[in-house]
A and B are shown apart, each in its own frame.
Chain A
Amino acid sequence: MSILILAEHDGSQLNPATAKTISCAAAIGGAIDVLVLGDAIDSVAAQAASLQGVNRVLATSAPHLAAPLAVNHAAELAAAADGYSHLLGPSSTYGKDVIPHAAALLGVNQVSDIMAVDGPRAFKRPIYAGNAIVDVNVPDDQIVVGTARTASWKAASDGGSGSVEARPAAAEAAAHTRFVGLESGGGDRPDLQTADVVVSGGRALGSSENFELIYRLADKLGAGVGASRAAVDAGYVPNDMQVGQTGKIIAPDLYLAVGISGAIQHLTGIKDAGTIVAVNKDADAPIFEIADIGLVGDLFSVVPELEQLLD
Protein backbone atom coordinates (compact mmCIF):
# COMPACT_ATOMS: atom_id res chain seq x y z
CA MET A 1 0.00 0.00 0.00
CA SER A 2 1.15 3.51 -0.71
CA ILE A 3 -0.65 6.78 -0.13
CA LEU A 4 -0.34 10.11 -1.93
CA ILE A 5 -1.44 13.18 0.02
CA LEU A 6 -2.26 16.53 -1.57
CA ALA A 7 -0.61 19.27 0.53
CA GLU A 8 -2.43 22.50 1.29
CA HIS A 9 -0.40 25.69 1.68
CA ASP A 10 -0.52 29.43 1.03
CA GLY A 11 2.68 29.64 -1.01
CA SER A 12 5.01 29.93 1.97
CA GLN A 13 3.49 28.01 4.89
CA LEU A 14 2.19 24.46 4.92
CA ASN A 15 -1.40 24.44 6.23
CA PRO A 16 -1.78 22.31 9.42
CA ALA A 17 -4.61 20.47 7.65
CA THR A 18 -1.87 18.62 5.77
CA ALA A 19 -0.31 17.25 8.97
CA LYS A 20 -3.77 16.09 10.06
CA THR A 21 -4.32 14.30 6.76
CA ILE A 22 -0.99 12.53 7.32
CA SER A 23 -2.33 11.14 10.60
CA CYS A 24 -5.34 9.77 8.74
CA ALA A 25 -2.98 8.18 6.21
CA ALA A 26 -0.86 6.71 9.01
CA ALA A 27 -4.00 5.02 10.40
CA ILE A 28 -4.50 3.39 6.98
CA GLY A 29 -0.86 2.24 6.83
CA GLY A 30 1.75 2.05 4.07
CA ALA A 31 4.27 4.49 2.66
CA ILE A 32 3.18 8.13 2.65
CA ASP A 33 4.16 10.56 -0.11
CA VAL A 34 3.08 14.19 -0.28
CA LEU A 35 2.38 16.17 -3.45
CA VAL A 36 3.05 19.91 -3.19
CA LEU A 37 1.66 22.02 -6.04
CA GLY A 38 2.51 25.68 -6.49
CA ASP A 39 5.12 28.08 -7.78
CA ALA A 40 8.51 28.40 -6.02
CA ILE A 41 7.57 26.02 -3.23
CA ASP A 42 10.93 24.74 -1.96
CA SER A 43 10.22 25.93 1.55
CA VAL A 44 6.75 24.33 1.66
CA ALA A 45 8.18 21.09 0.30
CA ALA A 46 10.84 21.10 3.05
CA GLN A 47 8.16 21.66 5.70
CA ALA A 48 6.19 18.69 4.35
CA ALA A 49 9.31 16.49 4.29
CA SER A 50 9.96 17.24 7.96
CA LEU A 51 6.62 15.80 9.09
CA GLN A 52 6.72 12.48 10.93
CA GLY A 53 5.78 9.58 8.65
CA VAL A 54 6.45 11.25 5.30
CA ASN A 55 8.52 9.10 2.96
CA ARG A 56 8.87 11.37 -0.05
CA VAL A 57 7.68 14.80 -1.15
CA LEU A 58 6.89 15.38 -4.82
CA ALA A 59 7.17 19.08 -5.60
CA THR A 60 5.60 20.38 -8.80
CA SER A 61 6.44 24.01 -9.40
CA ALA A 62 4.92 25.99 -12.27
CA PRO A 63 3.55 29.53 -12.60
CA HIS A 64 0.03 28.30 -13.42
CA LEU A 65 -0.07 26.30 -10.17
CA ALA A 66 0.54 29.35 -7.94
CA ALA A 67 -3.20 29.99 -7.50
CA PRO A 68 -5.13 27.03 -6.04
CA LEU A 69 -7.41 26.58 -9.06
CA ALA A 70 -9.11 23.18 -8.86
CA VAL A 71 -8.95 22.38 -12.58
CA ASN A 72 -5.17 22.82 -12.68
CA HIS A 73 -4.43 21.16 -9.34
CA ALA A 74 -6.76 18.20 -9.94
CA ALA A 75 -5.10 17.50 -13.28
CA GLU A 76 -1.67 17.26 -11.57
CA LEU A 77 -3.03 15.13 -8.74
CA ALA A 78 -4.74 12.68 -11.09
CA ALA A 79 -1.58 12.45 -13.20
CA ALA A 80 0.55 11.73 -10.12
CA ALA A 81 -1.85 9.09 -8.74
CA ASP A 82 -0.49 6.23 -10.86
CA GLY A 83 0.86 3.42 -8.69
CA TYR A 84 -0.73 4.59 -5.45
CA SER A 85 -3.42 2.63 -3.63
CA HIS A 86 -4.81 5.74 -1.88
CA LEU A 87 -5.09 9.43 -2.63
CA LEU A 88 -6.01 11.75 0.22
CA GLY A 89 -6.50 15.45 0.90
CA PRO A 90 -7.88 17.54 3.74
CA SER A 91 -11.62 18.25 3.92
CA SER A 92 -10.93 21.98 3.77
CA THR A 93 -12.51 24.14 1.06
CA TYR A 94 -9.33 23.55 -0.98
CA GLY A 95 -9.46 19.76 -0.60
CA LYS A 96 -13.20 19.67 -1.26
CA ASP A 97 -12.69 21.68 -4.43
CA VAL A 98 -9.81 19.63 -5.85
CA ILE A 99 -10.16 16.01 -4.67
CA PRO A 100 -13.61 15.16 -6.16
CA HIS A 101 -12.50 16.66 -9.48
CA ALA A 102 -9.41 14.42 -9.44
CA ALA A 103 -11.53 11.39 -8.44
CA ALA A 104 -13.78 11.94 -11.45
CA LEU A 105 -10.74 12.25 -13.74
CA LEU A 106 -9.65 8.85 -12.36
CA GLY A 107 -13.17 7.47 -12.88
CA VAL A 108 -13.89 6.64 -9.24
CA ASN A 109 -16.15 7.86 -6.46
CA GLN A 110 -14.73 9.59 -3.40
CA VAL A 111 -15.06 9.10 0.36
CA SER A 112 -15.77 12.50 1.93
CA ASP A 113 -14.80 13.49 5.47
CA ILE A 114 -13.06 10.34 6.76
CA MET A 115 -13.34 10.52 10.56
CA ALA A 116 -12.08 7.02 11.41
CA VAL A 117 -10.26 4.19 9.65
CA ASP A 118 -11.57 0.63 10.15
CA GLY A 119 -9.35 -0.95 7.49
CA PRO A 120 -7.46 0.01 4.32
CA ARG A 121 -10.76 0.34 2.44
CA ALA A 122 -13.18 0.73 5.34
CA PHE A 123 -13.96 4.10 6.87
CA LYS A 124 -16.41 5.97 9.05
CA ARG A 125 -17.84 9.27 7.87
CA PRO A 126 -20.53 11.66 9.12
CA ILE A 127 -23.74 12.27 7.17
CA TYR A 128 -26.78 14.45 7.90
CA ALA A 129 -24.56 17.16 9.42
CA GLY A 130 -22.97 14.67 11.80
CA ASN A 131 -26.30 13.35 13.10
CA ALA A 132 -25.41 9.88 11.79
CA ILE A 133 -22.12 8.08 11.28
CA VAL A 134 -21.97 5.58 8.43
CA ASP A 135 -19.49 2.77 7.71
CA VAL A 136 -18.38 2.81 4.06
CA ASN A 137 -16.32 0.39 1.97
CA VAL A 138 -14.40 1.10 -1.22
CA PRO A 139 -14.35 -1.79 -3.76
CA ASP A 140 -11.03 -3.65 -4.26
CA ASP A 141 -10.80 -2.87 -7.97
CA GLN A 142 -10.12 0.85 -7.64
CA ILE A 143 -7.89 3.46 -6.07
CA VAL A 144 -9.23 4.87 -2.78
CA VAL A 145 -9.78 8.63 -3.08
CA GLY A 146 -10.87 10.52 0.00
CA THR A 147 -10.80 13.63 2.17
CA ALA A 148 -9.81 13.50 5.84
CA ARG A 149 -12.13 15.34 8.21
CA THR A 150 -9.51 17.59 9.79
CA ALA A 151 -11.37 18.00 13.11
CA SER A 152 -11.08 14.22 13.65
CA TRP A 153 -7.29 13.94 13.34
CA LYS A 154 -4.37 15.26 15.39
CA ALA A 155 -1.58 16.86 13.40
CA ALA A 156 1.46 14.66 12.69
CA SER A 157 4.45 16.06 14.55
CA ASP A 158 7.74 17.36 13.15
CA GLY A 159 10.93 15.34 13.19
CA GLY A 160 10.54 13.37 9.97
CA SER A 161 13.16 13.21 7.27
CA GLY A 162 11.47 12.56 3.97
CA SER A 163 13.17 13.18 0.66
CA VAL A 164 12.12 15.90 -1.78
CA GLU A 165 11.89 15.26 -5.51
CA ALA A 166 10.93 17.68 -8.24
CA ARG A 167 8.10 16.44 -10.43
CA PRO A 168 7.49 18.29 -13.69
CA ALA A 169 3.98 19.56 -14.34
CA ALA A 170 1.94 17.02 -16.27
CA ALA A 171 -0.70 19.36 -17.69
CA GLU A 172 -0.88 22.85 -19.13
CA ALA A 173 -2.82 25.70 -17.56
CA ALA A 174 -6.55 25.55 -18.21
CA ALA A 175 -7.25 28.65 -20.28
CA HIS A 176 -10.93 28.73 -19.31
CA THR A 177 -10.36 29.51 -15.61
CA ARG A 178 -8.50 32.55 -14.24
CA PHE A 179 -7.61 33.51 -10.69
CA VAL A 180 -8.58 37.10 -9.86
CA GLY A 181 -7.78 37.52 -6.18
CA LEU A 182 -8.18 36.54 -2.54
CA GLU A 183 -9.56 38.85 0.10
CA SER A 184 -8.49 37.33 3.40
CA GLY A 185 -10.71 37.74 6.40
CA GLY A 186 -8.62 36.84 9.41
CA GLY A 187 -6.05 39.58 10.12
CA ASP A 188 -3.33 38.89 12.66
CA ARG A 189 -5.22 36.48 14.93
CA PRO A 190 -4.64 32.71 14.84
CA ASP A 191 -6.53 30.92 12.08
CA LEU A 192 -9.92 29.82 13.34
CA GLN A 193 -9.60 26.36 11.85
CA THR A 194 -6.24 25.52 13.41
CA ALA A 195 -6.10 27.60 16.64
CA ASP A 196 -5.67 25.71 19.94
CA VAL A 197 -8.06 28.11 21.65
CA VAL A 198 -11.13 29.70 20.06
CA VAL A 199 -13.49 32.31 21.50
CA SER A 200 -16.84 32.70 19.73
CA GLY A 201 -19.55 35.28 20.18
CA GLY A 202 -23.27 35.01 19.51
CA ARG A 203 -26.23 37.22 18.88
CA ALA A 204 -26.29 38.28 22.54
CA LEU A 205 -23.35 40.59 21.77
CA GLY A 206 -25.93 42.86 20.16
CA SER A 207 -23.69 44.78 17.76
CA SER A 208 -20.44 44.67 15.86
CA GLU A 209 -19.03 47.31 18.27
CA ASN A 210 -19.74 45.04 21.24
CA PHE A 211 -17.96 42.20 19.45
CA GLU A 212 -14.80 44.10 20.43
CA LEU A 213 -15.22 42.40 23.85
CA ILE A 214 -14.72 39.02 22.17
CA TYR A 215 -11.66 40.21 20.24
CA ARG A 216 -10.06 41.57 23.43
CA LEU A 217 -10.67 38.34 25.36
CA ALA A 218 -9.34 36.30 22.44
CA ASP A 219 -6.18 38.39 22.28
CA LYS A 220 -5.58 37.79 26.00
CA LEU A 221 -5.82 34.05 25.33
CA GLY A 222 -3.95 34.06 22.00
CA ALA A 223 -7.14 32.63 20.57
CA GLY A 224 -8.84 32.57 17.19
CA VAL A 225 -12.24 34.27 16.96
CA GLY A 226 -15.45 32.68 15.74
CA ALA A 227 -19.14 33.48 15.74
CA SER A 228 -22.51 31.80 15.63
CA ARG A 229 -24.59 31.93 12.47
CA ALA A 230 -27.02 34.25 14.29
CA ALA A 231 -24.21 36.76 14.88
CA VAL A 232 -23.14 36.51 11.24
CA ASP A 233 -26.69 36.88 9.95
CA ALA A 234 -27.14 39.92 12.21
CA GLY A 235 -24.13 41.45 10.45
CA TYR A 236 -21.84 41.71 13.51
CA VAL A 237 -18.99 39.82 11.80
CA PRO A 238 -18.16 38.43 8.33
CA ASN A 239 -19.23 34.96 7.29
CA ASP A 240 -15.76 33.44 7.25
CA MET A 241 -15.91 33.58 11.07
CA GLN A 242 -18.98 31.37 11.20
CA VAL A 243 -18.62 28.19 13.26
CA GLY A 244 -21.12 25.39 12.67
CA GLN A 245 -22.64 23.07 10.13
CA THR A 246 -22.91 25.81 7.52
CA GLY A 247 -19.61 27.42 8.52
CA LYS A 248 -16.41 25.95 9.88
CA ILE A 249 -16.14 22.69 11.78
CA ILE A 250 -13.38 23.08 14.34
CA ALA A 251 -11.70 21.07 17.10
CA PRO A 252 -9.64 23.40 19.35
CA ASP A 253 -8.35 22.23 22.75
CA LEU A 254 -10.43 24.95 24.40
CA TYR A 255 -13.61 26.54 23.05
CA LEU A 256 -15.36 29.46 24.75
CA ALA A 257 -18.91 30.14 23.59
CA VAL A 258 -20.02 33.58 24.72
CA GLY A 259 -23.65 34.60 24.37
CA ILE A 260 -24.35 31.62 22.10
CA SER A 261 -27.54 29.70 22.85
CA GLY A 262 -26.33 26.53 21.10
CA ALA A 263 -28.48 25.78 18.05
CA ILE A 264 -27.89 22.25 16.70
CA GLN A 265 -26.20 23.70 13.66
CA HIS A 266 -23.62 25.45 15.88
CA LEU A 267 -23.05 22.41 18.12
CA THR A 268 -22.28 20.32 15.02
CA GLY A 269 -19.30 22.56 14.39
CA ILE A 270 -17.73 22.24 17.85
CA LYS A 271 -18.47 18.77 19.15
CA ASP A 272 -14.89 17.57 18.68
CA ALA A 273 -13.47 20.40 20.79
CA GLY A 274 -11.40 19.32 23.82
CA THR A 275 -13.11 21.44 26.48
CA ILE A 276 -16.19 23.56 25.83
CA VAL A 277 -16.88 26.55 28.09
CA ALA A 278 -20.23 28.37 27.84
CA VAL A 279 -21.15 31.79 29.18
CA ASN A 280 -24.83 32.66 28.79
CA LYS A 281 -27.39 34.51 30.86
CA ASP A 282 -30.11 31.95 30.08
CA ALA A 283 -29.62 28.94 32.37
CA ASP A 284 -31.81 26.87 30.02
CA ALA A 285 -29.73 27.55 26.90
CA PRO A 286 -29.01 24.28 25.03
CA ILE A 287 -25.28 25.08 24.98
CA PHE A 288 -25.12 24.06 28.67
CA GLU A 289 -26.23 20.51 27.74
CA ILE A 290 -22.87 19.90 26.09
CA ALA A 291 -20.59 22.39 27.87
CA ASP A 292 -17.85 20.96 30.11
CA ILE A 293 -17.86 24.15 32.16
CA GLY A 294 -20.88 26.45 32.25
CA LEU A 295 -21.32 29.90 33.73
CA VAL A 296 -24.74 31.55 33.92
CA GLY A 297 -24.20 35.29 33.81
CA ASP A 298 -24.32 38.50 31.82
CA LEU A 299 -21.52 38.44 29.27
CA PHE A 300 -21.12 42.21 29.52
CA SER A 301 -19.86 41.81 33.09
CA VAL A 302 -18.34 38.31 32.87
CA VAL A 303 -16.13 38.94 29.84
CA PRO A 304 -14.42 42.11 31.21
CA GLU A 305 -13.88 40.26 34.51
CA LEU A 306 -12.27 37.35 32.68
CA GLU A 307 -10.09 39.77 30.79
CA GLN A 308 -8.87 41.32 34.07
CA LEU A 309 -8.27 37.95 35.70
CA LEU A 310 -6.14 36.87 32.74
CA ASP A 311 -3.82 39.86 33.08
Chain B
Amino acid sequence: MKILVGIKRAVDYNVRIRVRSDGSGVETDGVKMSINPFDEIALEEALRIKEAGKAEEVIVVSIGGDEVQQQLRTGLAMGADRAIQVNTDEALQPLTVARIFAALAEQEHAGIVFLGKQAIDDDSNQVGQMTAAVWGRPQATFASKVDIDGASARVTREVDAGLETIEIDLPAVITSDLRLNEPRFVKLPDIMKAKRKPLDVVTIDALGGHAGNGISAGHHAAPDARSRGIMVEDAAALVGELKNRGLL
Protein backbone atom coordinates (compact mmCIF):
# COMPACT_ATOMS: atom_id res chain seq x y z
CA MET B 1 0.00 0.00 0.00
CA LYS B 2 1.07 3.54 -0.75
CA ILE B 3 0.23 6.44 1.54
CA LEU B 4 0.00 9.95 0.12
CA VAL B 5 0.56 12.66 2.72
CA GLY B 6 -0.28 16.31 2.04
CA ILE B 7 2.02 18.77 3.75
CA LYS B 8 1.32 22.50 3.58
CA ARG B 9 3.93 25.18 4.07
CA ALA B 10 2.45 27.48 6.73
CA VAL B 11 3.56 30.16 9.16
CA ASP B 12 5.20 28.41 12.11
CA TYR B 13 2.80 27.93 15.02
CA ASN B 14 5.11 29.85 17.37
CA VAL B 15 5.05 33.01 15.27
CA ARG B 16 2.98 35.89 16.63
CA ILE B 17 0.59 36.83 13.81
CA ARG B 18 0.42 40.48 12.73
CA VAL B 19 -2.13 41.87 10.30
CA ARG B 20 -0.57 44.25 7.72
CA SER B 21 -1.50 47.87 8.41
CA ASP B 22 -3.11 48.26 4.98
CA GLY B 23 -5.42 45.31 5.67
CA SER B 24 -4.12 43.38 2.65
CA GLY B 25 -3.30 40.26 4.64
CA VAL B 26 -1.13 38.81 7.36
CA GLU B 27 2.58 39.67 7.53
CA THR B 28 4.56 36.73 6.13
CA ASP B 29 7.78 38.46 5.04
CA GLY B 30 10.77 37.18 6.97
CA VAL B 31 8.52 34.98 9.09
CA LYS B 32 9.53 31.40 9.96
CA MET B 33 7.66 28.84 7.84
CA SER B 34 7.15 25.18 8.76
CA ILE B 35 5.10 22.13 7.87
CA ASN B 36 1.54 22.73 9.09
CA PRO B 37 1.57 20.90 12.47
CA PHE B 38 -1.51 18.77 11.74
CA ASP B 39 0.13 17.63 8.47
CA GLU B 40 3.30 16.75 10.36
CA ILE B 41 1.18 14.50 12.61
CA ALA B 42 -0.38 12.91 9.50
CA LEU B 43 3.10 12.22 8.12
CA GLU B 44 4.26 10.73 11.42
CA GLU B 45 1.27 8.36 11.44
CA ALA B 46 1.91 7.33 7.83
CA LEU B 47 5.53 6.55 8.71
CA ARG B 48 4.45 4.48 11.73
CA ILE B 49 2.03 2.50 9.54
CA LYS B 50 4.89 1.81 7.12
CA GLU B 51 7.24 0.86 9.97
CA ALA B 52 4.60 -1.59 11.23
CA GLY B 53 4.82 -3.32 7.86
CA LYS B 54 1.36 -2.20 6.72
CA ALA B 55 2.48 0.12 3.91
CA GLU B 56 5.32 0.00 1.40
CA GLU B 57 5.74 3.62 0.45
CA VAL B 58 5.06 7.08 1.91
CA ILE B 59 4.87 9.94 -0.57
CA VAL B 60 4.79 13.56 0.60
CA VAL B 61 2.98 16.11 -1.57
CA SER B 62 3.07 19.88 -1.29
CA ILE B 63 1.45 22.51 -3.48
CA GLY B 64 3.25 25.77 -4.18
CA GLY B 65 6.34 27.41 -5.64
CA ASP B 66 9.90 26.17 -5.18
CA GLU B 67 9.87 27.34 -1.56
CA VAL B 68 7.72 24.31 -0.62
CA GLN B 69 10.69 22.06 -1.49
CA GLN B 70 12.04 23.06 1.91
CA GLN B 71 9.05 21.39 3.64
CA LEU B 72 9.19 18.42 1.25
CA ARG B 73 12.88 17.89 2.15
CA THR B 74 11.92 17.99 5.84
CA GLY B 75 9.25 15.37 5.12
CA LEU B 76 11.83 13.21 3.33
CA ALA B 77 14.21 13.63 6.28
CA MET B 78 11.45 12.44 8.62
CA GLY B 79 11.31 9.26 6.55
CA ALA B 80 9.08 9.70 3.49
CA ASP B 81 10.34 7.78 0.44
CA ARG B 82 9.73 10.39 -2.23
CA ALA B 83 8.18 13.80 -2.77
CA ILE B 84 5.92 15.52 -5.28
CA GLN B 85 5.76 19.29 -5.70
CA VAL B 86 2.61 20.49 -7.45
CA ASN B 87 4.03 23.68 -8.89
CA THR B 88 1.99 26.90 -8.69
CA ASP B 89 2.44 30.48 -7.53
CA GLU B 90 -1.26 30.93 -6.79
CA ALA B 91 -2.94 30.41 -3.44
CA LEU B 92 -5.39 27.62 -4.28
CA GLN B 93 -8.79 27.10 -2.69
CA PRO B 94 -9.76 23.87 -0.91
CA LEU B 95 -11.84 22.41 -3.75
CA THR B 96 -8.98 22.76 -6.25
CA VAL B 97 -6.57 21.27 -3.71
CA ALA B 98 -9.01 18.38 -3.18
CA ARG B 99 -9.17 17.71 -6.93
CA ILE B 100 -5.37 17.64 -7.04
CA PHE B 101 -5.17 15.11 -4.19
CA ALA B 102 -7.91 12.95 -5.69
CA ALA B 103 -6.14 12.95 -9.07
CA LEU B 104 -2.80 12.09 -7.45
CA ALA B 105 -4.44 9.34 -5.39
CA GLU B 106 -5.76 7.77 -8.61
CA GLN B 107 -2.44 8.15 -10.42
CA GLU B 108 -0.45 6.64 -7.57
CA HIS B 109 -3.08 4.02 -6.59
CA ALA B 110 -2.83 5.29 -3.03
CA GLY B 111 -4.40 3.26 -0.21
CA ILE B 112 -4.63 6.25 2.11
CA VAL B 113 -4.58 9.99 1.52
CA PHE B 114 -3.46 11.28 4.92
CA LEU B 115 -3.92 14.99 5.65
CA GLY B 116 -3.99 17.30 8.65
CA LYS B 117 -7.52 18.17 9.77
CA GLN B 118 -6.84 21.83 9.01
CA ALA B 119 -4.06 24.24 8.17
CA ILE B 120 -3.26 26.72 10.90
CA ASP B 121 -3.13 29.64 8.45
CA ASP B 122 -6.59 29.77 6.82
CA ASP B 123 -8.20 27.34 9.33
CA SER B 124 -10.60 26.10 6.64
CA ASN B 125 -10.82 22.45 7.69
CA GLN B 126 -12.17 21.35 4.28
CA VAL B 127 -9.60 19.65 2.07
CA GLY B 128 -9.85 16.12 3.51
CA GLN B 129 -13.64 16.07 3.38
CA MET B 130 -13.66 17.50 -0.17
CA THR B 131 -10.99 15.03 -1.33
CA ALA B 132 -13.18 12.14 -0.13
CA ALA B 133 -16.18 13.60 -2.00
CA VAL B 134 -14.28 14.18 -5.24
CA TRP B 135 -12.54 10.80 -5.04
CA GLY B 136 -15.77 9.01 -4.02
CA ARG B 137 -14.04 7.24 -1.13
CA PRO B 138 -14.59 7.13 2.68
CA GLN B 139 -13.48 9.89 5.01
CA ALA B 140 -12.36 9.64 8.61
CA THR B 141 -11.71 13.14 9.91
CA PHE B 142 -10.20 14.30 13.25
CA ALA B 143 -8.48 10.96 13.88
CA SER B 144 -6.94 10.29 17.28
CA LYS B 145 -6.29 6.59 16.68
CA VAL B 146 -5.82 4.62 13.47
CA ASP B 147 -5.66 0.82 13.21
CA ILE B 148 -5.05 -0.65 9.78
CA ASP B 149 -6.50 -4.12 9.37
CA GLY B 150 -5.90 -5.48 5.89
CA ALA B 151 -8.21 -3.72 3.45
CA SER B 152 -9.97 -1.64 6.08
CA ALA B 153 -9.14 0.75 8.91
CA ARG B 154 -10.69 1.39 12.29
CA VAL B 155 -10.45 5.06 13.18
CA THR B 156 -11.26 6.78 16.47
CA ARG B 157 -12.38 10.35 15.88
CA GLU B 158 -12.38 13.29 18.30
CA VAL B 159 -15.91 14.70 18.12
CA ASP B 160 -17.71 17.21 20.35
CA ALA B 161 -19.63 14.44 22.11
CA GLY B 162 -16.53 12.35 22.90
CA LEU B 163 -14.74 9.66 20.91
CA GLU B 164 -16.45 8.16 17.87
CA THR B 165 -15.16 5.01 16.20
CA ILE B 166 -15.84 4.17 12.57
CA GLU B 167 -14.63 1.48 10.21
CA ILE B 168 -13.71 2.40 6.64
CA ASP B 169 -12.71 0.38 3.61
CA LEU B 170 -9.47 1.44 1.93
CA PRO B 171 -8.65 3.38 -0.13
CA ALA B 172 -9.79 6.30 2.02
CA VAL B 173 -9.01 9.78 3.27
CA ILE B 174 -7.94 10.21 6.91
CA THR B 175 -7.32 13.57 8.60
CA SER B 176 -5.32 13.84 11.80
CA ASP B 177 -6.21 15.56 15.04
CA LEU B 178 -3.63 16.86 17.49
CA ARG B 179 -3.45 13.87 19.75
CA LEU B 180 -2.91 11.15 17.16
CA ASN B 181 0.82 11.08 17.90
CA GLU B 182 3.90 13.18 18.62
CA PRO B 183 6.01 13.64 15.49
CA ARG B 184 9.66 12.55 15.60
CA PHE B 185 12.60 14.93 15.51
CA VAL B 186 14.69 14.96 12.37
CA LYS B 187 18.33 13.89 12.80
CA LEU B 188 21.22 15.38 10.86
CA PRO B 189 22.18 12.19 8.93
CA ASP B 190 18.56 11.95 7.80
CA ILE B 191 18.72 15.47 6.39
CA MET B 192 21.78 14.46 4.35
CA LYS B 193 20.06 11.27 3.17
CA ALA B 194 16.91 13.21 2.24
CA LYS B 195 18.87 15.21 -0.34
CA ARG B 196 19.28 12.07 -2.43
CA LYS B 197 15.62 11.03 -2.34
CA PRO B 198 13.50 11.72 -5.46
CA LEU B 199 11.47 14.94 -5.68
CA ASP B 200 9.26 15.28 -8.76
CA VAL B 201 7.69 18.53 -9.93
CA VAL B 202 4.30 18.39 -11.66
CA THR B 203 1.85 21.04 -12.92
CA ILE B 204 -1.75 21.60 -11.83
CA ASP B 205 -2.95 21.20 -15.42
CA ALA B 206 -1.69 17.63 -15.42
CA LEU B 207 -3.95 16.97 -12.42
CA GLY B 208 -7.33 18.25 -13.53
CA GLY B 209 -6.85 22.00 -13.26
CA HIS B 210 -8.82 24.63 -11.40
CA ALA B 211 -12.28 24.28 -9.90
CA GLY B 212 -14.38 27.25 -11.01
CA ASN B 213 -14.70 30.59 -9.27
CA GLY B 214 -13.37 30.64 -5.77
CA ILE B 215 -14.33 32.64 -2.72
CA SER B 216 -12.46 35.96 -2.72
CA ALA B 217 -10.78 37.40 0.34
CA GLY B 218 -10.77 41.15 0.94
CA HIS B 219 -9.86 43.27 3.92
CA HIS B 220 -8.02 41.75 6.89
CA ALA B 221 -8.35 43.19 10.39
CA ALA B 222 -6.99 42.42 13.82
CA PRO B 223 -9.63 40.97 16.17
CA ASP B 224 -11.31 43.13 18.80
CA ALA B 225 -9.24 42.90 21.93
CA ARG B 226 -10.69 42.32 25.39
CA SER B 227 -9.45 44.76 27.97
CA ARG B 228 -8.30 44.26 31.52
CA GLY B 229 -11.12 44.41 34.07
CA ILE B 230 -11.06 44.84 37.84
CA MET B 231 -9.25 42.93 40.58
CA VAL B 232 -10.96 41.74 43.75
CA GLU B 233 -9.37 40.89 47.09
CA ASP B 234 -10.94 37.58 48.07
CA ALA B 235 -13.61 34.97 47.41
CA ALA B 236 -16.33 36.96 49.23
CA ALA B 237 -15.63 40.05 47.10
CA LEU B 238 -15.73 37.91 43.96
CA VAL B 239 -19.13 36.45 44.85
CA GLY B 240 -20.40 39.96 45.68
CA GLU B 241 -19.21 41.29 42.34
CA LEU B 242 -20.82 38.43 40.43
CA LYS B 243 -24.11 39.04 42.28
CA ASN B 244 -23.91 42.77 41.45
CA ARG B 245 -23.59 41.91 37.80
CA GLY B 246 -26.55 39.55 37.92
CA LEU B 247 -24.38 36.53 37.12
CA LEU B 248 -25.27 34.54 40.25
- A288-310: contact bitstring with B at CB < 8 Å (1 yes, 0 no)? 11111111110000100110011
- A166-188: contact bitstring with B at CB < 8 Å (1 yes, 0 no)? 00000000111111111111100
Q: A101-B129, A177-B168, A309-B235 are in contact. Are A271 and B223 (CB under 8 A)?
A: yes
Contacts of A100 in B (CB 8 A): 94, 124-126, 129-130, 133
| Bound-state Cα–Cα, A287 to B224, Å | 16
Is the CB of B98 closer than 8 A to any CB of chain A? yes
| Bound-state Cα–Cα, A69 to B169, Å | 14
Contacts of A176 in B (CB 8 A): 137-138, 168-169, 172
Q: Are A276 and B226 in contact (CB under 8 A)?
A: yes
| Bound-state Cα–Cα, A106 to B238, Å | 53
Is the CB of B114 closer than 8 A to any CB of chain A? no
Contacts of B245 in A (CB 8 A): 275
- B134-167: contact bitstring with A at CB < 8 Å (1 yes, 0 no)? 1001110110100000000010011111111111
In angstroms, how far is the closest chain B Cβ from the Cβ of A155? 16
- A258-302: contact bitstring with B at CB < 8 Å (1 yes, 0 no)? 000000000000010011110100000000111111111100001
Q: Are B242 and A135 in contact (CB under 8 A)?
A: no
Q: Are B223 and A177 in contact (CB under 8 A)?
A: no
Q: Are A142 and B213 in contact (CB under 8 A)?
A: yes
Contact of B234 among A132, A138, A305 (CB under 8 A): A305
Q: Are B223 and A130 in contact (CB under 8 A)?
A: yes
Contacts of B169 in A (CB 8 A): 175-177
Is the CB of A18 closer than 8 A to any CB of chain B? no
Is the CB of B215 closer than 8 A to any CB of chain A? yes
Q: Give the interface size class of chain A.
A: 35 or more
In angstroms, how far is the closest chain A Cβ from the Cβ of B22? 13
Which of A71, A130, A306 counts the most chain B CB atoms within 10 A?
A: A71
Q: Are A297 and B234 in contact (CB under 8 A)?
A: yes
Q: Are A107 and B212 in contact (CB under 8 A)?
A: yes
**Chain B residues bordering chain A, tally (CB within 8 A):** 77
Among residues 201 to 248 in chain B, which have CB atoms less than 8 Å away from a CB atom of chain A?
Answer: 211-223, 225-239, 241-242, 245, 247-248
**Chain B: CB-nearest residue to A96:** B125
Q: A185-B163, A240-B163 are in contact. Are A137 and B120 (CB under 8 A)?
A: no
**Chain A: CB-nearest residue to B26:** A132
Q: Are A132 and B213 in contact (CB under 8 A)?
A: no
**Chain B: CB-nearest residue to A304:** B235
| Bound-state Cα–Cα, A139 to B217, Å | 11
Is the CB of A80 closer than 8 A to any CB of chain B? no
Contact of A182 among B161, B212, B217 (CB under 8 A): B161
Is the CB of A212 closer than 8 A to any CB of chain B? no
Contacting chain B: which of A28-36, A53-61, A109-117, A201-209?
Answer: A109-117
Q: Are B229 and A291 in contact (CB under 8 A)?
A: yes
Contacts of A102 in B (CB 8 A): 133
Q: Are A254 and B247 in contact (CB under 8 A)?
A: yes
Q: Are B232 and A293 in contact (CB under 8 A)?
A: yes
Contact of A103 among B95, B141, B172 (CB under 8 A): B95
- A91-107: contact bitstring with B at CB < 8 Å (1 yes, 0 no)? 01110111111111101
Contacts of A74 in B (CB 8 A): 129, 133
Contacts of A111 in B (CB 8 A): 215
Q: A138-B215, A291-B229, A293-B230 are in contact. Are A180 and B165 (CB under 8 A)?
A: yes
**Chain A: CB-nearest residue to B241:** A293
Is the CB of B132 closer than 8 A to any CB of chain A? yes
Is the CB of A246 closer than 8 A to any CB of chain B? yes
| Bound-state Cα–Cα, A138 to B231, Å | 45
In angstroms, how far is the closest chain A Cβ from the Cβ of B86? 18
Contact of A180 among B95, B133, B167 (CB under 8 A): B167
Which of A128, A137, A193, A240 counts the most chain B CB atoms within 10 A?
A: A128
Other contacts beyond A93-B158, A109-B94: 6, CB < 8 A: A74-B129, A93-B142, A104-B95, A138-B215, A176-B168, A289-B228
Can you name 12 A-B residue pairings with CB atoms under 8 Å? A74-B133, A93-B158, A97-B129, A97-B142, A101-B129, A104-B134, A176-B172, A178-B167, A277-B238, A291-B229, A295-B237, A302-B234
